Chains A and B, each alone.
Chain A
Amino acid sequence: AQSVSQHNHHVILSEAASLELGCNYSYGGTVNLFWYVQYPGQHLQLLLKYFSGDPLVKGIKGFEAEFIKSKFSFNLRKPSVQWSDTAEYFCAVIAYNNNDMRFGAGTRLTVKP
């Protein structure tokens, strides 16, 4: 079965700083990849997803992620974070045409105003 690891447990940044959150997965076949965000006290919302095609995907709120197949990575980036980006971020992977989604342990992002 596939698995996901997120390297950063807690990231603290000042507003306007650039963000990169690491995500690596292990699975030998074709995968779909996701980043979800969970704002304090709320449910998971989809930030962006990769199914196929251009490995650089753009999501909501200025986030983007790049799928690098050779590195089994799907890192999340944002050039300039805002205080409102403070949240928990989850990387997830699911095998193509499957329904067994695996989540990483999450990365807590704290943005200081």
Chain B
Amino acid sequence: DTAVSQTPKYLVTQMGNDKSIKCEQNLGHDTMYWYKQDSKKFLKIMFSYNNKELIINETVPNRFSPKSPDKAHLNLHINSLELGDSAVYFCASSQVGQFNEQFFGPGTRLTVL
């Protein structure tokens, strides 16, 4: 009965590879997000999706692309991985409205060698 789940939990890969991280929420929320947390614990929002529309896209390289097959899923695809992509990636979801608390997934620790 996990609210927001991510797979995999750990991902170790070589530079130049392409990888994906999956996220699913069972809260019925209409908005999902991807955050990147660097080694200094700084949280940076990367994307959010609301009803299959990208509504926030910070200065993220276009090697990163979110894909939402439906309202409950928001996957993150990363092409041509670089060393600087090593971080923990968190998925989150919320319901836009007055009570817009975000619920976070367990995180995916990506290590690029």
Bound form: Cα–Cα A38–B92 in Å: 14
| Contact B41 A88, beta carbon cutoff 8 Å | yes
The verdict on A103 contacting B90 (CB below 8 Å), with A43-B105, A98-B96 known, is no
Q: How large is the interface on B (under 10, 10 to 19, 20 to 34, 35 or more residues)?
A: 20 to 34
Does A105 touch B at the CB level, under 8 Å? yes
A-B interface contact total, Cβ < 8 Å = 61
Could you give, for residues 91-102 of chain B, a 1 whenever the CB lies within 8 Å of some chain A CB and a 0 otherwise?
A: 010101111111
Does B31 touch A at the CB level, under 8 Å? yes
Q: A interface, by DSSP: helix, strand, loop or mixed? A: strand
| Contact B104 A44, beta carbon cutoff 8 Å | yes
A residues near B86, Cβ cutoff 8 Å: none
B residues near A108, Cβ cutoff 8 Å: 41
- Using a CB–CB distance below 8 Å, which chain B residues touch chain A? 31, 33, 40-43, 45, 48, 50, 55-56, 90, 92, 94, 96-107
- 4 new A-B contacts, CB < 8 A, other than A42-B106, A97-B97, are A32-B101, A43-B107, A45-B104, A99-B50
